[in-house]
Structure formats: C-alpha cells, structure tokens
Amino acid sequence: MTATLLAHDGHIARVQGIQVGHFTDPRRPTGCSVVLCPQGAVGGVDVRGAAPGTRETDLLDPSHLVQQVHGITLSGGSAWGLDAASGTVRWLEEQGVGLDIGVGRIPLVPAAVLFDVMLGDMRIRPDAAAGYAACQAASHERPAEGSVGAGAGAVVGKIFGHARAMKGGIGTASFTVDGVTVGALVACNALGDVYHPHTGQLLAGARTADGQQLLGARDALLRGEAPSAILAGSNTTLGVVATDAQITKPQAQRLATVAHDGLARAINPVHTMSDGDTLFALGTGQSGRNLGLMTLFTLAAEAVALATARAILLAQSVDVAGQERLPSWADWQARAHA
C-alpha cells in the first residue's frame, strides 16, 4: 500500500487556475511555498491548532467583504516567515493581479508559517525575497515534494524530544471526478507521528531512546509515558486544498474544515496545543462545473491525507553541523533492505 501512495500521480496544480512554486534556502533547511490563483478564487480557512502563525486570515471569513484571494503563502521560519507573503504580494502586483481599487491593485495573499528554526542558524529564514522567488518558480507542472519549500525544515514526532524525531516535508495529491479536480498541498511539521491513512501503518515519528526503532507515541502516551517539555508553537502542519468546482465562499470555508479530517487520518496526535495546524481552501470555479458537496468534501479529506503521507515518504534526511542527524522514512527503508 505504501507503493500505491508513492505511485499516486495526482497533484494540486492539476486544479484549473492553480500554480505552485517553492523556494528552498541553500544555507539551512528552510523555505516557502506559494499556491497562486492569479485569476482569483474564493477562499476559506480553518485554524485548528492552538499555536498558529497566520496573516490575512480574517478576510476569509464568509461574512466579510472580500470574495476572492489571489494566492496562499506557506512558509518556514516561524513568525519571521510571514514576511514571505510580502514577496508574493509584490510579484502578483507586478503581474497586474489583485483587487482593483481604482488607483491600482492589491493582491490578497493569506499566509501561515511553521516552526523550523531549530535546524541550523535561526537567523536564516524566509523573507520577502524568498516569497518572490517562489512565485517566479511557480507553474502548472507537478510541484516538487519532500524536503523542499515550506517542508525543507519540517520535523515530525517531537513528543519525546527533538533528538528522537524524524524528517518531515511537503507533499501533494489530487483526485478528479466528473471533470472536477480537488487537490492538496501539505507541509507536515507535526508534533505527532504520521501514519499511512489507509492501512494505519506507522510511517514516521518519535523514535525509541536508542534511535533505532519507531516508538509509537500514541501507544507510549496510553501506557503513561510522559512527553518531553514541548515549546509552544514549535510544530505545525500547513496546507492548501483547492478545487476548480464552482463553490461559494461559505462552501470554501466548509471545505477547509472538512479537509482537516485528512490530517486526523494521517497524524496522531493532531491539533495539539503546540501545533498551529492550518488549512486553507481555494475554489477557482474554472471547471465550470459543480459537484455534490458530499463528494467534494470526501475528495478534499482524501487528498489531504495522501498529501500528508507523501510529505513523509518523500522527505530526505538532514544533517546540520553540531546536531544529530534526523533520519527520513526513505533512509529507514533503505537500511531495512540493505
């Protein structure tokens, strides 16, 4: 079943009207990712984690005036990484994209960040130039996955300490039904472990004290093992779920809410006090078609679950000077078959 996940060829840029780009900083594991909808899309958001870092999420409230946004920025760098969205705004403005205010256009770009500043020099973090570079790289092609963009510095399974964690990343998936596509892009930096969403197989997370095996944080907690002291806000899974179905802004909000079911299928524990789990939803309407909400929501949750797992399966181990190596799922598989 893991091979099936790796073979999945769907991706969020298959959604009509969507472009995706990454910037990965070569100086340390960090970066940002953009999901652009230059022709506009209705948007929604559901912030489920208790320690979020966000920008421009209030305008996505269904009762608020603005109906469309022009992109989403996901970034590493914790609160400093929110600056990457300024680069996205600048790039879109240069393309003539944004809300027409008569004297010019204002691109509307909500954003969210994850905490990756424990890997290397924390003074290196995504800024406006990084967001701009991600936009320059954006296309309708399949986005890179694994340890790139907003997932470059992602780490999962930190419940029993960062030294016993594993490498996270960014992944994508999509499904098409009756001419309507629903896709997801997920950067997984979860406090919890990550599981195969179909089989329940533990893929990555907290390791045993000797670092040689997966511990199984859920079972350890149920046995009464005490977690390590956890820095608030030091985790977070971010994502965008997008569709080219014709949906309303309230429906986009609901799409973001239901999409969190996908996180719950792949991450345990999820939505903790130390995670800032945030999912955005975009509806471009460019398929010109409608799809029943039951089917639409089912596709969204499934795409998020698969994208989360792919973020782990395609991540790469990381070595940072003076720090212990963080292994990836791929490394462990190679070792098992050596």
> Going residue by residue through the chain (338 aa), what tens digit of pLDDT does each one get?
788 888 899 999 999 999 999 999 999 999 999 999 999 999 999 999 888 999 999 999 999 999 999 999 999 999 999 999 999 999 999 999 999 999 999 999 999 999 999 998 999 999 999 999 999 999 999 999 999 999 999 999 999 998 899 999 999 999 999 999 999 999 999 999 999 999 999 999 999 998 889 999 999 999 999 888 776 667 899 999 999 999 999 999 999 999 999 999 999 999 999 999 999 999 999 999 999 999 999 999 999 999 999 999 999 998 877 777 889 999 888 776 66
> What are the two backbone dihedrals, phi and then psi, of residue 90, each rounded to the nearest 5 degrees?
-65, -45
Whichever domain contains 217, its CATH number is 3.60.70.12
How many Cβ atoms sit within 10 Å of the Cβ of residue 198? 16
Q: Is the dihedral of CA 22, 23, 27, 28 positive or negative?
A: negative
Could you tell me which residues come within 8 angstroms of residue 74 by beta carbon, excluding any fewer than 6 positions away? 32, 33, 34, 35, 111, 112, 113, 114, 149, 150, 185, 187, 238, 239, 240
For residue 259, the enclosing domain spans 2-336
CB atoms within 10 A of CB 6: 11
Number of domains in the chain: 1
- Secondary structure (3-state) at 40: strand
168 vs 151: CA distance, rounded Å: 7
